[in-house]
Structure 1
Amino acid sequence: MTGPASVGVDGGEGSEDVNAVQVEAPNFILCYQGAGLRYQITCPQGPRRALGLYVSSGYMARLVDAFGAEGETIRARLAAVKDDELYNVQMRLTRDAVQAIEQLLASTHAGVRELLFVEAKCMEILYASVGVWIDSLQHGAQDVTLSARDLMLMERARTLIDADLQKNLTIPDLARAVGTNASKLKRAFKLLHGVTVFEYSLRRRMEEALRLLVDERQAVGQVAAAVGYQHQTSFTTSFRDFYGFAPKDARQLRGADRVSAAG
């Protein structure tokens, strides 16, 4: 509903490594895992409102069958998912689905009544979500099936951006650096992180710029260079477009104000 989340894929049996992929979560996010893949959804500290439903393959198959011929596209999508792959798609929730989720999260029922209420609302939400899924695929929504390796590469791409905000890596450069192609990088990064590579890079650079201005009290020219801008005027324009005020005015902010501005 609101707030960030991430999808983590285990490195394998006996491995403690988890390749966490950040996911913005304002929409309906569907993950369908292959039989040999394990993943977990986690949420960092901070305010959020979310609902997670875990559905068995058999139950999902019966639900899709209820849509008859309309569900054929979904059946084909899920049948193609291999044991070591994760199918992922993000879609806008309908008003009906949002209302059902709101009602479920705000439930005041108890005991048997709560159990019946939750079961009814979950069925309503699932039915609405599958309907959104079918409609989105019919209208060309982007979905993607990714292996555990693909998920690791997308996280590596995010890490490379974060590691050196002075560099303006192009899509081809970033794709080569992580070991994939530009087309897959663009599609998978947008689906998994909720923003394009450019949007993510810009946001991180602006967040760092605000931190340097407010916490480190650095000069505007120094900050511009630190976040990859060759010209201070270009940085000032980007900063003003992003935050709504000039870099020089950021000096008037305090730490708490900086967090509020960044949010």
Structure 2
Amino acid sequence: MNTLRLMAIAAAMTVLSAQAEPVKNIVIVSGSFVDGSGWRVIHDILTPKGYKVTVAAQPHTSLDDDVAATRAILDQQIGPVILVGHSSGGAVISAAGERDKVKALVYVSALLPDVGESLAQLLGSMPAPSNSVRPTQDGHLFVDPARFHDDVAADLPVNRTNYMAISQVPATVATFSTQIWAAAWHKKPSYAVLSTEDRALSPDLQRWMYQRAGAKVTEVKGSHLAYISQPDQIAKVIDDAANGR
């Protein structure tokens, strides 16, 4: 076997080895009304496995601002990234995920708008079992604190959800009405967690969006905040995405 042939084989083996290596950077985008603290347990599960986990704090002022904040975090990562989005964060990762370093997308109880669709449009197409979102006079949205436990996180202790209810991060009407301009799930491998007990985002809508995107779906018996109540299952999906399983 000549030298050029051996060099070609060695180069091909190097490429295959690189492709087989798991992605080690995980960037998480929280959804509306909550902050990134709920991902602490998943961070603690993934970090000992060698992952570098970063939560991209969202200003929740507009979809453009949220995407810009996520891209800023992506720019800080060295090497390929798995991008994870919860709830409205699904729209954010769909737009920000077009960066070359993003190798796969993970949607957790998330919205997956296509180009030209808005979050409000999708939510209206298959209404959730309960709608506790209330508008304010200044163009913001929040979940009725009295309904937060039952409608958003019924599988979490009341003392925890009571605090989450009064420490909400308000979203904006503009965020939910903005038509998305990019949908990375058309081009990138997608994984999705469907929360079967979700009262804030219709499980039927989740299933429809995930099927449209061709995502690999994992069903979890959990609320809209299943990443808090079922962290091991969500961490496994992220790990599977990082390893291309």
- TM range, normalised to the smaller chain? under 0.3
> TM-score w.r.t. structure 2 length?
0.24
User: Of the two, which has the highest radius of gyration?
Assistant: 1
> TM-score w.r.t. structure 1 length?
0.23
Larger helix proportion, structure 1 or 2?
1
Larger strand proportion, structure 1 or 2?
2
